[in-house]
Amino acid sequence: MKHDSHSASNIIEVDLASPLFAQAANYLKSRELDMLKEAYQFSREAHDGQFRKTGEPYVSHPVAVSQILTSWNLDAPALIAALLHDVVEDTQITKTEISQKYGKVVADLVDGVSKLDKISFESQKHQQAENFRKMLLAMAKDVRVMLIKLADRLHNMRTLTAMQAQKRARIAKETLEIYAPIANRLGLNDVYRELQELSLSHLYPNRYKVLSKAVKRARGNRKELIRKILASIEECLGDHNLDAEVSGREKAIHSIYRKMTTKTLSFAEVFDIYGFRVVVKDIASCYLALGVLHQRYKPVPGKFKDYIAIPKANGYQSLHSTLLSPVGTPIEIQIRTKNMDQIAESGVASHWLYKETDDASLTELQTRTHQWMQNLLQLQSEPGSAAEFLEHLKLDLFPDEVFVFTPKGKIISLPRGATTIDFAYAVHTDVGNSTIAAKVNHEPAALNTELRSGDRVEITTSANGVANPNWLRFIVTSRARSQIRHSVKSQQHEESALLGTRLLEQAIKDLKIEPNAITREHWDRLTKEYAGKTKNEILSEIGLGKQVAIVVARHLLALDDDAETQTNAQKTSLVIHGTEGMALQFAKCCHPIPGDPIIGYLKKGHGLVIHTHDCPIARRAHNDPHKWIDVEWDPDSSKSFLVKICVLARNGRGLLGKIATKVSAANANIETGNFEQNDSTNYAEINLSILVTNRIHLARVIRNVRSLDEVTRITRLKA
């Protein structure tokens, strides 16, 4: 009986795989088909006794994934890897066994798709990020990894109803944020739309049902209108001897939902829920068809996009135009060639679908995709956590592009909202890091200027320019974000090491020893004691407040860490120039300037923070006595420092102008100003942030402003 039961199960599973074999037989060689059948048996035996939440044998899942891939005509190694993609993760089979049986290519594909469940992670979020990083880096070497993963996710989404509601929501959110955009980035439009629809149906099931019913009702109400428009388009093109295939397509529910939420529209206000696609023989016919349709229907201004002349980053090409129908409702028209239509639906999979063709557009598509994947490898090579890598990836996956020009006429594609700094980093990392100014359309522009399609951008660089961490507040591309962070970290490390050197030398002098008495042997012993850290790393940690200079000095000199040594140490002050860079910060709670009595605190991870001696916030916030450093101003410092003053004055015409003139007469600059008027007293309070070189300079500014008859009181703000 047991044998009969097993045989019956075997028959069911063979029937399960027969559609896969039938589809694969259309393009695989007989030897490859035999290998596929053998891989199926191997997968079936490996997953024997395992079942999905739906109650089906587990092997039904890899079979379904492999079958999705046959619709893209993927090769035998990819289909075999799809059949085996869960065996390493869910069974005792190893990558080595797969490599020995099916070759290294298949084993690498399986490994690229497999999760990292057997490794310990800091958190679920970190694990998810690390999984994506591994998978995407594998994809950068072989795009088939991502195609298998997308097919895997597509089948899981199709069968997600068997999962618990909370898990369904988590998987749907992940799909919407990561996998659907990746499908879009690779040009797999059908997969992209289906993943969006399925995600919405699981994230917001009630909203999805309501919208589905509304679309069905609208379809019935507008059926006759749609038929008339379709016939009118065909007639119009036929009158001009244009051979075209015309089809109408309902907008996806997710697309309608997104438009309703982003534009705050009701369903009744979303008119363009139907679109029409016109497929013609060549590019010239695309533009001719556009002109013909613009004559028949009025185009909506600003709603035309030419993705043929400037394709999307994923290789998509088409003319898009929104026209007004006879009853006044807008309709969307897409016009493209047959090859463009094939690429629009299959994206990078076109490489397998149409690999016999010499179509240059496919070569261009592969080049673009390869470049994007190489960018992923470059992101991975930068220091940073897996979570940062995932953040960069998400930025790249929602492009909504603008196209701008270099001074030499080269087109650069950037995400909507990109700035001149994003442009600079898109040109080259060195250009981005050394940017000091920009011009847009021959006019000077701020570095945070958002670019629009058609802008001509010119970047001015300097050999002394460095990446500014403030740029992170407004840039949008992952490349710029990654490179700025890397540059800032390097810069901070270098400046912290210089500050650490000064702090350590001061600590050594406090111990009545000359710094030049420290030998290489001292450092060799210390680096071993500090777990193999380099001299530069130790100095950087001192500068960042992670190590206390006097403690390191005693260890370096092999002195006892006792109270007597501490008592004998005579503290000297560290001289502050104000040009130490990111390793030194001036506290925003008290805004110290040269001439103020000051003290420094080594804040862990931030470096040396300078406060005024009487700053109450500093005393409350920093209570570790070992991290307070005696500091004093360099008397020759000429750097400008920010200070805040509050001016109470009688309001009248030209008051702000008079104050600004007095500040300027004292050779000071106003950074920001804030004007508050008291209507009951006719007095105004003006808060100014000004740049001065020292307290004497500040006193001169205050004297100048106080000389105005309208001014009643001036105070310096310390918070």
Residues that are catalytic? 89-90
Q: Angle, to 10 degrees, between the axis of helix 2-24 and the axis of helix 30-46?
A: 140
Residue 513 dihedral angles phi and psi, to the nearest 5°: -130, 140
- Closest by Cα among 230, 228, 186 to 333: 230
CA distances to 28, 228, 244, 277 from 241, rounded to whole Å, are 40, 20, 9, 18
Instruction: Indicate the residue type of 233.
Output: I
Tokens of 157: 């989404």
Distance CA 371, CA 143 (A): 12
Rounded-to-10 torsion of CA 296, 297, 301, 305: -80
How much helix, strand and coil, in percent to the nearest 5, is found in the chain? Answer: 55, 15, 30
- Closest by Cα among 547, 590, 550 to 569: 550
Distance CA 433, CA 487 (A): 7
CB–CB of 676/684 below 8 Å?
Answer: yes
Distance CA 486, CA 384 (A): 8
Q: Edge-to-edge strand order for the sheet containing 584-586? A: 574-576, 628-633, 598-603, 607-612, 584-586
Q: Angle, to 10 degrees, between the axis of helix 60-70 and the axis of helix 144-158?
A: 120
For residue 512, how far is the Cα from the chain centroid?
52
CA distances to 120, 429, 616, 624, 700 from 621, rounded to whole Å, are 36, 39, 9, 9, 33
In DSSP terms, 458 is beta-bridged to 439
Q: Which helix (H) or strand (E) holds 306?
A: strand 299-306
Collect all residues with Cβ–Cβ distance below 8 Å to 282 and sequence separation of at least 6: 337
Residue 690 dihedral angles phi and psi, to the nearest 5°: -125, 160
- Closest by Cα among 561, 554, 569, 557 to 519: 557
What is the rounded radius of gyration, in angstroms, for the C-alpha atoms of the chain?
Answer: 34
CA distances to 30, 103, 580 from 637, rounded to whole Å, are 82, 68, 12
CB–CB of 185/397 below 8 Å?
Answer: yes
Distance CA 410, CA 458 (A): 12
> Three-state DSSP class for 59?
coil
**In sequence order, what DSSP letters do the residues of 227-260 get, joined into one string?**
HHHHHHHHHHHHHTT---EEEEEEPPHHHHHHHH
**Sign of the torsion formed by the C-alpha atoms of 644, 650, 653 and 658:** negative
Tokens of 219: 């379809």
